[in-house]
Amino acid sequence: MRPNLHAYPGRFMWSHPAHPFALGFGAGLSPLAPGTVGTLWAWASFHLLSLYLNTAELACVVAAAIVLGWWFCTVTAEHMQVHDPSAIVWDEIAAFWLVLLVWMPASFMGQLVAFLLFRFFDAVKPGPVGWADRAFHGLGWRGGFGIMFDDLVAAFCTLLCLAFWQATR
């Protein structure tokens, strides 16, 4: 039985320890563009974390977010009985944290470009991002990996574009 996220979003989000993370602490419950809202949450939370953590500690948080994200996404997708539900935004959060970890320090404009590039690659899924999105489908560990993997490929493509932009400036 699929949970009704619209009728009982809070009840589902807090019904399992993986859910609040997978749902971006509510960002994924946005009725409009949950992936974009999740990425905005990632941007804001990265800046908050960077006030208290040094680069090495941030790198550990990002690594843990990626590894644990596989579990968060797997469990939550299974409980929702939906392959890669749009409400799951931890994949955007962990992947955009990775982008910011590598890209920072950057001006607001540089961060905005990173945000827009990441959203483009995540939403449009050109080339390798589309392949990554199609490569791992379904529920279970393979599907949970797939939820995370295409966003990590989108992060890599974003960083590649940012490196090219930086080299040509």
pLDDT digits (tens, 9 = 90+) for 50-92: 999 999 999 999 999 999 999 999 999 999 999 889 999 999 9
Close Cβ partners of 138 (under 8 Å, ≥ 6 residues apart): 83, 146
What pLDDT, on the 0 to 100 scale, is given for residue 9? 72
Q: What percent of the chain has pLDDT over 70?
A: 95
DSSP states of 112-154: HHHHHHHHHHHHH--HHHHHHHHHS-SSHHHHHHHHHHHHHHH
Residue 77 and residue 18 in contact, taking contact as beta carbons nearer than 8 Å: no
Residue 104, number of CB atoms within 10 A of its CB: 15
Per domain, the residue ranges of the chain are: 31-167
| Alpha carbons within 13 A on the beta-carbon side of 92 | 34
- Name the pTM for this structure: 0.94
Tokens linked to 154: 């989108």
Residue 86 dihedral angles phi and psi, to the nearest 5°: -65, -20
